[in-house]
Structure 1
Amino acid sequence: MKLSIAMATYNGAKYLRAQLDSFAAQSRLPDEVVICDDGSRDATVDILRDFAGSAPFEVRVIQNETNLGFVRNFEKALSLCTGDIILLSDQDDVWLPEKLATVERTFLADPRAMSTINDMIITDQDLRHQNVTLLGNIRRTGFGENRFIAGCCTAIRRDMLQALLPFPADHFAHDSWIGDMCVAFGVRRLIDSPMQLYRRHGSNESQWLLSEPREVSKFEAVVSAGLASPLKGWQPYMQRLEIMRCRILDNRASFERIGLFDEVEPALSWIAAEAGRYGGRIHLLSLPRYRRWMSVIGFWMRGGYRRFSGWKSAVKDMIRP
């Protein structure tokens, strides 16, 4: 298989070289690395050019004429890759030596897999860590593995990527679009072992509690969400589900062309079930609290809280304003 790495850079000089060196230290080297720089004003481009001149594989550095932003820059880098499998890379992590070999084996072993996502060890800015992983934190707090979305841990078949391009404007980050669509189709495979060091330095795109380089408890995760209305997050998610549904219907032939004949209807059913779960909770919160408790119990009995935090979510829905 031809393996490509797609990287998006922007003012990443401080940590960039360590990530590039980890590409060259892979037990299975990449066949190409495509890097789109979004108008860096530090030494990023100089570091990229120096690496391109010494790397034992093809490195293409593209400088954008205008700043595209994080999502569009990644979209451009991905679209320029020619590999059978494309791995997404941030500019500030460090990949462990077996990452590419492990990803390749996973795809070779499962022709139905269209994407993979691997676990990662969370570190501080100097790569110090307590061997805590992001997936470990997600599981520890009771969330399902579908909540694990991380572009820097994702690889995708080029065929699937072409069916997902272009990314929807304004509604999705690139990684959530890829992750949610592959989860809906049931074609994402989890690599349980950590394959990289995830450097946290205060300027990361994601500031999620579970990305802290320490063990996060279920209680802490629930308390951190508080009793504030979640509608600001749920309503956009409902919009995203509708965008996913429309893309599948509009591009059905593209998905069937890459062999996903049997997955289209289950994907639409998954989206409908998600919309039902979130729509149900949105409806509950529209009711006055004195009328809400019976509806919450009914939603519980129908299994509506299984996707969430069980009884804790039910209690919150009863007492939220």
Structure 2
Amino acid sequence: MDRPTSSARDDTVTILLASHQGAAFIGAQLQSIADQTHGNWRLIVSDDGSKDGTRDIVAGFAASRPAGQVQLIDGPRRGATQNFLHLLSVAPDGIIAFCDQDDVWFPDKLARACRALAPHDGPVHYAARTIITDDGLTPVAESRHFPRPLGFRNALVQAIMAGNTSVFNAEAAAILRCCVGPAQDHDVQSHDWWAYQVTAGAGAVLLHDKRPALFYRQHGRSEMGRNDTVRAMSQRIAMLLAGNYGGWLAANHAALDAVRSELLPENRRILDSFGAALHQAGPVAALTLARIGLYRQTRAGTAAFYGAALMGRLRQCGPRRLMR
């Protein structure tokens, strides 16, 4: 696949916004996009069958902007993750940014991201912290700062590059587009987790901005809640011990294995060992994963992950395809 190089860059950002029943909040998000100090953007909104006026709000916003800057398309109606993957599959070449319908971006969000991406050659994945708010945008707390290194050994087992803040340079975006088909086919759990895995596996530069980039609105219909409270972290540890988590890991592994040529050689070896562990009995699986050196961002999370492996909660009982 031909990919853009650093000599062929421009700073146009294609914003990919997945919408569904978002009329209550999407207007504020669209206004925050209009208010960006980095004015060189275009917006694609993929609407997943809204019946509440979301499409009318987006159409009105499009009419207020220069012709062609805002595009409204139909989503696949298979949930938020598939909607984002659909957007990625139709995105043009160049820088891309994921966008949630109910956040509010700070005016310098895109400008800061583009400045962070600019000095680097090769693929780059940028994400940032957020300010968590209630549904009326009253600040509650800043999202967590992750102290451990970013990389493939973390990405395989934890999603920390928040999709609502993620911006990918042209090279990273091209890799994601090349890999998106298997992610759709295997129905991965989370588009941002998958994107972190792909960019980390491909050897991209991974940047996590300590400064918040947006208001992350929490309300009853939020797809994924905050993860900074004791209760939230306890819930995520409980998810590690539940059977669904192993299924998510298996789907992610299958999607990555289908595009293994995009991964660095060392990360292909890690992926193969990881896939083997998902079909091993508990103690053997835990030992295999420990040898790989997988980790989550907290000691408690890492301990829970290995505990789940030890108890056999990650094991997939179906036949394992022979690794290439």
Fold equivalence (TM over 0.5): yes
Residue 218 of structure 2 is aligned to residue 200 of structure 1 = yes
1:168 counterpart SS class: helix
1:162 counterpart SS class: helix
Question: What's 1:110 paired with?
Answer: 120
Partners of 1:11 and 1:223 lie apart in 2 by 26
Distance 1:66 1:150, change over 3 A: closer
Distance 1:169 1:222, change over 3 A: same
Equivalent position amino acid for 1:25 in 2: D
1:179 is aligned, of 171, 181, 196, to: 196
Question: What's 2:71 paired with?
Answer: 61
2:184 is aligned, of 168, 189, 192, to: 168
Q: Deviations over 1:202-243 (max 9, x none)?
A: 111114xxx15xx524x9735873599434312441342243
What is the aligned-residue RMSD (CA, Å)? 3.6
Distance 1:82 1:279, change over 3 A: same
Would you say how many aligned residue pairs link Structure 1 and Structure 2?
Answer: 288
Partners of 1:84 and 1:227 lie apart in 2 by 36
Question: What's 1:245 paired with?
Answer: 257
Trace 1:1-321 onto structure 2 (pairs within 5 A): 1-55=11-65, 58-64=68-74, 67-133=77-143, 135-136=144-145, 147-156=159-168, 157=170, 158-166=173-181, 167-172=183-188, 173-192=190-209, 193-207=211-225, 211=226, 215-217=228-230, 221-222=233-234, 225-226=237-238, 229-248=241-260, 252=261, 255=262, 264-275=264-275, 283-284=282-283, 307=296, 309=300
2:140 counterpart SS class: coil
- On the 8 A contact 1:9/1:36 being kept in 2, the answer is yes
Equivalent position amino acid for 1:270 in 2: I
Gaps of 5+ in 2: 1-10, 149-153, 314-324
Partners of 1:112 and 1:269 lie apart in 2 by 22
Partners of 1:312 and 1:31 lie apart in 2 by 42
Distance 1:57 1:126, change over 3 A: farther
Equivalent position amino acid for 2:212 in 1: P
Superposition deviation, residue 19 in structure 1:
0.4
Equivalent position amino acid for 1:268 in 2: R
Equivalent position amino acid for 2:117 in 1: F
Partners of 2:250 and 2:45 lie apart in 1 by 33
Q: Deviations over 1:270-299 (max 9, x none)?
A: 32354466667x52299xxxxxxxxx8x78
Partners of 2:46 and 2:239 lie apart in 1 by 41
Gaps of 5+ in 1: 256-262, 287-295
1:191 counterpart SS class: strand
- On the 8 A contact 1:228/1:320 being kept in 2, the answer is no
1:197 counterpart SS class: strand
Superposition deviation, residue 198 in structure 1:
0.7
TM-score (norm 1): 0.74
Distance 1:108 1:62, change over 3 A: same
Partners of 2:312 and 2:76 lie apart in 1 by 45
1:7 counterpart SS class: strand
Equivalent position amino acid for 1:203 in 2: R
Superposition deviation, residue 122 in structure 1:
1.2
